Amino acid sequence: MKKTQLTRRKLLIFGSSSIFVAPLAALAASTLPNIHVVKNPQCGCCNAWIEILTEKGFNVTAEDRSGSLLNKFKTESGIPREMMSCHTANVDGYFIEGHVPASDIKRLIASHPDALGLAVPAMPYGSPGMGPEDEREAFDVFIISANGTAEVFQHYPKAGIPV
């Protein structure tokens, strides 16, 4: 039986290769849950938001619903009327209403609070899918509790304003 000697060179090669493999293994282990988006078929900003989520690692499916069918879905999901926007998503037992940044969705999933979901009411310019971020107007992402109350989950200041 031939013995292989572990030289300093082999040890360095092995050690440095693990630097590249470890993040890939962690990425595979931390796959994001599927997200299902219900949207108006004529809405281009919804498609832009879906594209952004896909780029951020989400596996996104989409379903088109118009008018009263879309509003019924929003109401059944527990979204307060004043928090409604153009599209609604479901992920990991939560609703995501409007142009919520992917980082906030990931934070919600990781912290798993007792809540119904997140919402960005209306369609603020510069939010994901709504124009360039460097021209963003200030907006808030709200977390909606089971009783329907909302509080700020994350604030995004107007672009160019120091935090």
pTM, rounded to two decimals: 0.79
Query: Is residue 147 predicted with pLDDT exceeding 80?
Result: yes
Dump pLDDT digits (tens) for 60-116.
999 999 889 999 999 999 999 999 999 999 999 999 999 999 999 999 999 999 999
Number of other residues whose CB lies within 10 A of the CB of residue 34: 12
| Lowest model confidence (mean pLDDT) among 36-40, 138-142, 146-150 | 146-150
Quickly name the fold that domain 33-156 has.
Glutaredoxin (3.40.30)
User: How high is the mean pLDDT of the chain?
Assistant: 85
